[in-house]
Structures are given as structure tokens and as C-alpha cells.
Structure 1
Amino acid sequence: MNHEQSRALYDRALSVMPGGVNSSVRAVRPYPFFVQKGDGGHVVDADGNRYIDFVMGYGPLLLGHDMPEQVQSAVQQRAAEGPMYGAPTEVEVELAEFVTRHVPSVEMVRFVNSGTEATVSAVRLARGYTGRDKIVVMQSGYHGAQESTLVEGEGDHTAPSSPGIPESFAEHTLTVPFNDPDAARDVFDEHGDDIAAVLTEPILGNYGIVHPIDGYHETLRGLCNDHGSLLIFDEVITGFRVGGLQCAQGKFDIEPDITTFGKIVGGGFPVGAIGGKSEIIEQFTPAGDVFQSGTFSGHPVTMAAGLETLRYAAEHDVYDHVNGLGERMRSGLQDILEDQAPEYTVVGTDSMFKVVFTRDGPDTFEGHCEAGCQQRPECPRYDHCPKDGGDVKQAETERWERLFWPAMKERGVFLTANQFESQFICDAHTAEDVDDALEAYKEAI
């Protein structure tokens, strides 16, 4: 493939943007390709190279790059009527009504502008509602670029994971490994009266797609109930992708107190949302005292895109299509690994998938989880599959990033840029796309 235009654009970008990008994850080596346009389930770069796109904007594009007519018409109408107003619009109410009608735990919604803003606001809300300061997060979990969760360490021995964050922020953040109920119990035994909330993704989506072990979320729900803490599900990635319109909380039959959303709920435009029980969400100003506000919150173009995207998904069997292709992809990957790399692990569910370059595993796949690791104790690979973000970090992350990702790119398959983030199927993908990608995996692995 020729990448002269992308290289030239990157050279220009380095002069005017730090690292040449506006999000650090895009800074692949030696330089990223620059996208010219999207086309269904594909992207075309500045040099005219075409790729099957499994990044999907890191998750927001459930329908792909081509908006169906009803979505496109709604977006164009709202944009033509005026960019924004600083006043409420009907479409905000309609999208909020759609979300509260379909997501089991959500009675009220506050819309914001990003997943990070949603989790920042949710943490502030939990602290304001409970009158407590401490929050519990999963080690290696990611909840956006916010000071309260950019921490590293174990238990109450935490420190900021980035310069620019005061040590005092980390003092209020407790960490436990995902899928370790004993660690969760221990931290509540020691700090339970001071814990405002547990903040977790229902499925780790930024660290290799790690499923919860059986009963883990029930343990967190019980601990929060016993200690008067709130359970916050970060569904920025899983919301309206895993579990369909009920989201991952519906799939796992767990009702959090607060849920954060992003990505799909805005139909591909910048968005975030905080939803939950009315008595909690009403603590936001102006109904309550917990300050939260934003100039672009509830932007009419974003609200229209999100509403019509979700309506389209509900009316056109989108989830059947993308989940079926997801299973086809994961099953095909299992077959490839059985022949070529039995130590590696296929992970994912619904329309999410990934291959984690784990270092150990039995030679046989007999009795294994089919179409992605489900954390079944009876699976012969159970002791080898990743249980938390730390396990994924121990995988061959450099091989994935330095050798495998470029090899897939040269074969016309666009994957997320490192070992950790998920790949996504969209409604515009076809069985042929999946089969072509599997051939590329077979060659690159």
C-alpha cells in the first residue's frame, strides 16, 4: 500500500498538534493513516487505500458510516434549523424518553458531551448524594480522562497515573482487581462507611473485553446495598451494543443505581449521558444541589442522531445482524487459533470481538467456550484466560501492536491500535467482510 499522503499529513500535524493527533490512542507507529471518508463498513484513507473497518470510531457507529435515510434526514433537518440555541428542544425529551423506556435501571437522564464528562459527573453525583468521598474502581479499568479514576496501585495504596493530577485525588480512589469478589469484600470491610460508589464497566471494554465471572456483579450489588453505597455501571462502550436496547445491565440482569452512556446514544456525534433512579439523578442542579451544566449538552443534532439511530436499530433487526456476524467472527477466530496459536484467547460478546495474545493455554480446544471467552469454570482454558486488566497486560502486547496490527492493516483490515481496545461489528458489515477479515487473520497470525 502507498501511504505518501498520510505521511505528509502526519508531518504537517506534528507541527500544530501534540504528537500529531487529538487522541493519544491514534498515534500508531511509525505514523497513522489519515481517513478521507467512510463507506458502509469500510474506510478509505488519504491515499485511496480501502479497509474493512472494525474500529467503528471506537464504538459509536452501530450502523456504520452511511447513515440510513431516516437518520440522515433528522440530522440534516436539525442542522438546517440552526446549530444550537442555549434552550431546550423537543428532541432532547424524546431521546430521554427512549432511553428510560428501554434501559431497566434508568428513570431519568442528564445528557452531556462525552463519556468522560458522564463519568466525571456520575462520580460527583454519587459523592453529593451519599455525602462520602471514596470511590472504588477496577485496577486497569478506564473511565475517561478524569482525575478521580486515572490512578494506579492496589486497594488504598494508590497514586495518580498521570502527571498533573494532585496526590489528594488518588487518596479518595480505592482499586480492586476486576473479577475478585474477595478483594471487593476486603475493601468494603475496611472502608465501607466512606465509600460513595463502586464504578465499573459491566464488561471490561478497554482491556481486552473481559467478561465478569459468575456472581461478580451480584457481589458488588450486595456490598453496595449493605453499605449504603451506589453501584455505577460505565456503559459508555457497552450501552446499546451489548444486550441490545437494554444494554449490558439487561443482559446480566443487574440494576445499577447510576449508568453512564456515550458513543452509540449519540449516533456517532459527541455525547455522554448519566441515567439512573429519579431520586438520585434529581440531585443534579437545578432540581438538586450537585452542580452539573454544559453549553453544548443536549445538542439538537446529536440528540436527533442518537434518537433516530436507536429507533432504526429497534425497527430493523440490527442487533440480530451484528450479533450474528460477531459470533461468526469469533467462531472463525477460534478455528484459526486452534490450528495456529492455541495459547491465544478469543474474547467478546454480541458485536464485540478481540484476540488477546495470551502466553499460556492448553493445546486442545475441547470443551472450550465457543465464540468467545465466557469465564466458565468448567472450561479447560478457564485458568489461562484473562480475568482482569492485569492479565491482559501480561499478554504479548508488543507483538500485537508492532507486528500483528501493521500486518492486518497491509491486508486491508483496520483494527483498534493496540491489544486492549475492542473491535466492533456494524450493521453495514457483511458476511463477506467477516470472511475476508478471517483470511487476513489467518495470514497475519
Structure 2
Amino acid sequence: MNRDTSRDLYDRALGVLPGGVNSSVRAAPQPYPTFVRKGDAGRVVDADGNKYVDWVMGLGPLLLGHDVPESVQSAIQRRASEGPMYGMPTEVEVEHAEFIARHVPSVEMVRFVNSGTEATVSAVRLARGYTGRDKIVVMESGYHGAQESTLVEGGGEGATPSSPGIPESFAEHTLTVPFNDEEAASEVFAEHGDDIAAVLVEPILANKGIVEPEAGYHETLRDLTEDHGALLVFDEVITGFRVGGLSCAQGEYGITPDLTTFGKVIGGGFPIGAIGGRTEIMEEFTPSGDVFQAGTFSGHPVTMAAGLETLTYAAENDVYEHVNSLGERLRDGLRDVVAERAPAYSVVGTDSLFKVVFTRDGEAPRNGADVGRANVQRWNRVFRPEMREAGIMLSQNQFESQFVSASHTETDVEETIEAYRDAL
């Protein structure tokens, strides 16, 4: 497969972009990333004209795939033709917020922002402002964007910043517990309950190989936060409107968080984030309350139109039935391949998320540390390049999720399963 143009573009990019990219994960593939020219249904075409079945799907936002339905495309073009943005409110942002509040069980009010990171930053600030407390509980190996309060490593009270440039004082207010460890969560509340503003948790760890919650885990977090006057914040930037359909993962698991962060799917492929929750909490945001939050591009009309029309299309056209059935077919086929070729590995995922984690004992991971102990380098340096050469584009490393879209077909699924069989 000729990839000379991607190599040359990366060479040029290294001279003007740090690491040659604008988001770190894009540089993970060795020896250089694939530069994409365009999308085509469930596939992408790279700068050299090579075509791949695309399971990256923008790292999650493209629920409908690269073939945007006419209704969505028309809404985007109409809004763009009327002027790029105004710095003033528009009707479409109200309509989008109404859609989210109508379908997500815990959401009464919404504040739109411009990224998943901005959503989690704002949610943490709101939780601290609402409770008057400073400490935040997060999961070890969980990911909540590039923000100072959650970029930590280490366990319990010994967490330290995971990046230079973050003062140690930020990590002093962050407590970490292993995902799916009810005892550890109970212990941290027993010791610090009066100081904890919120627990911030992904319903499914979706940036660490896909780790699902064990029965009762989220119920325990819900009970602990209620008993101690803290907030339960679900980070549904990845799972929102993908796992659990229109009611999101919280609907799937029957849990009602106090706040929810969104991103990815709700923007229809355009930059977006949002915070949703109960009215009494959300109204602590300025201008109705005192917790400052603002953004020039928040509620951008083109993004609002793209996101609203995407969700409306999904609601009216059996999109979730299609993507979830393909996801299950993929996982079933991959389980057969793994049982035959690599029984120590684990097939993980739900609904339209899937991944093969190169575990060493055949046990599905129950927390991020289990994924970290997998054969990560074999996945990254040997397996993924072989899949790319076979015309299958997987996420950039062992940890990122892979996504099914409405544009994918049974043919895409079968080609992918066979490529896994050959590569393993």
C-alpha cells in the first residue's frame, strides 16, 4: 500500500505543528499517521487514495457515518448560508436543548459549550460552586478531557498531576479510586465525605479499552453521593446518544445522575460540549447564579443545527437498531476469531462500541489497570499496522474505543472480521 503522501504531509507537519498533529493521540500510529482526504459512507480515503473501512468515526461523533443524510446536510448548509455566527441567541439552540431535556432522564436544563473538555471543566466548577466543597472523586484510568482537575495519576490521596504544567495543588483536591471497586469508593467517602463535591465517572470507561460497570457499582456511587451531599456527575461525552440510544447510558443502567456532560454525537460532527442536569443545580451558572461560565462560540448555530438534525434523524429512522445490531454481529464474529486464534484476548463493548483488548488471561478487564496490563505494544505496533494494510482503519491505540455508524454495512463487518482473523 503506497502511503508516500501521508509520509510527506507528516514531514511538513512536524515543521509547523508540535509533534505534527493538533491532538496527541493522532500521532500514536508508527512511524507516521494516516492523513485523510475524505469520508465515504462507512469508509475513509487517505491522501494517497487508499480506502479503508473506518471504525474510528472521528473518535465517536459520527453516529450517522460520513454519508450525512440530506435533511442534516440541508440544515447545516442553510444555517451556514445565513451567516457563520452572531454572538447572540438563536432559536435552534433552544430547540436542541429541548430535545436533550426531553429524552435524557436526568436533564432539565442544558448549557452548551464547545468541547467535551470544556463540559467537564464547567461541570466540576459547578459542582464545587453548588456544594461549597473542593474535592472531586474520579476513577483511576478514567478520562475527562485535558483539564487540570482530572489529569492525575496514582491512587487515593496520593494522586499527582499526570502532565507538566499542572500545579500540585490541583491534584490535592482530586481523589482516585479504581473503577468497579465499591469498597474503595465507600472508604474514600468514609474518610472525606464532608469535603467531596462530586464523583465524576464515565458510565463505561471508554478511553481505556472499554470497561463496563459491574452490577451494582453505579448504584453504590449514587447512594454514597446522596448520603454525603455530593453530586454524581456522569461523563457521557462518549456514551451520550450512543450507548442506550436517546436516553443515553444512564437510561440503559437506570441511574439518575445530578449532572451529565455531553459531547461528540450531539454536535453531528462539529465541535460541541454540554452540561445538563437538575434545574436547581444548573441555575447556579451565571447569569442566573454565581458560578461563572461563558463562551463566544457556545451554542454556535451551525453546530446546533447539525447536532439537532442528527439526533432527530436517529430518532426517526431506526439508527440505533441498525448500529447496535451491527455492533453485536461484529462482537460475536470477533469472539469466534479470538476463541480460535488468540484465546487470551478479550472482546469488549456494547451497543455500537467494540474493541479487542490484548489481555493475557482471557478475562475481560474490570478496571483501567487491567487494560494497562494487556499487550498494548503488540496491539499498537504489530496488529494495528497489519489491519491498516488490510484496509481496516482502527483507533489509534489499544485504549481508544471503536465505533459503528449508520453508514456501515454487513459487508464492512464481514471484511473486518476476516481481517482480524488473518492479523491474529
User: Please, what TM-score do these two structures have when normalized by structure 1?
Assistant: 0.95
Give unmatched runs, 5+ long, in structure 1: 362-383
Correspondence 1:250-265 to 2 at 5 A: 250-265=251-266
1:246 Cα deviation (Å)? 0.2
For the residues of structure 2 that align with 1:402 and 1:8, how far apart are their CA atoms?
A: 21
Aligned residue identity for 2:259: I
Correspondence 1:345-424 to 2 at 5 A: 345-361=346-362, 384-424=363-403
For the residues of structure 2 that align with 1:331 and 1:139, how far apart are their CA atoms?
A: 29
For the residues of structure 1 that align with 2:179 and 2:9, how far apart are their CA atoms?
A: 40
Question: Match of 2:407?
Answer: 428
Question: Match of 1:366?
Answer: none
- Secondary structure at the residue paired with 2:14? helix
1:385 Cα deviation (Å)? 2.0
For the residues of structure 2 that align with 1:53 and 1:43, how far apart are their CA atoms?
A: 6
Question: Match of 1:26?
Answer: 26
- Secondary structure at the residue paired with 2:374? coil
- Secondary structure at the residue paired with 2:159? strand
Correspondence 1:188-203 to 2 at 5 A: 188-203=189-204
Question: Match of 1:87?
Answer: 88
Question: Match of 1:10?
Answer: 10
Question: Which contiguous aligned blocks of 4+ residues in structure 1 show a shift greater than 4 angstroms?
Answer: none
For the residues of structure 1 that align with 2:140 and 2:397, how far apart are their CA atoms?
A: 19
Question: What are the Cα deviations for residues 168-206 of structure 1, in whole angstroms up to 9, with x where unaligned?
Answer: 000000000000000000000000000000000000000
1:54 Cα deviation (Å)? 0.2
Correspondence 1:25-104 to 2 at 5 A: 25-27=25-27, 28-104=29-105
User: Please, what TM-score do these two structures have when normalized by structure 2?
Assistant: 0.99
For the residues of structure 1 that align with 2:155 and 2:2, how far apart are their CA atoms?
A: 46
Question: Match of 1:376?
Answer: none
Q: How many positions carry a matched residue from both structures?
A: 423
Q: Is the 8 A contact 2:347 2:364 kept in 1?
A: no
1:66 Cα deviation (Å)? 1.5
Aligned residue identity for 1:115: G
Question: What are the Cα deviations for residues 304-359 of structure 1, in whole angstroms up to 9, with x where unaligned?
Answer: 00000000000000000000000000000000011111110000000000000000
Aligned residue identity for 1:227: H
1:242 Cα deviation (Å)? 0.2
- Secondary structure at the residue paired with 1:442? helix
Question: What are the Cα deviations for residues 369-407 of structure 1, in whole angstroms up to 9, with x where unaligned?
Answer: xxxxxxxxxxxxxxx321100100000000000000000
- Secondary structure at the residue paired with 1:111? strand
Aligned residue identity for 1:266: G
For the residues of structure 2 that align with 1:415 and 1:125, how far apart are their CA atoms?
A: 36
Aligned residue identity for 2:385: P
1:138 Cα deviation (Å)? 0.1
- Secondary structure at the residue paired with 1:15? coil
Q: Is the 8 A contact 2:65 2:407 kept in 1?
A: yes
1:33 Cα deviation (Å)? 1.1
For the residues of structure 2 that align with 1:22 and 1:240, how far apart are their CA atoms?
A: 26
Question: What are the Cα deviations for residues 413-433 of structure 1, in whole angstroms up to 9, with x where unaligned?
Answer: 000011111100000000010
For the residues of structure 2 that align with 1:194 and 1:436, how far apart are their CA atoms?
A: 52
Question: Match of 1:230?
Answer: 231
Correspondence 1:246-395 to 2 at 5 A: 246-361=247-362, 384-395=363-374
Q: Is the 8 A contact 2:38 2:45 kept in 1?
A: yes
Aligned residue identity for 1:431: E
1:29 Cα deviation (Å)? 1.1
Question: Match of 1:374?
Answer: none
Question: What are the Cα deviations for residues 87-111 of structure 1, in whole angstroms up to 9, with x where unaligned?
Answer: 0000000000000000000000000
RMSD: 0.4
Identity %: 74
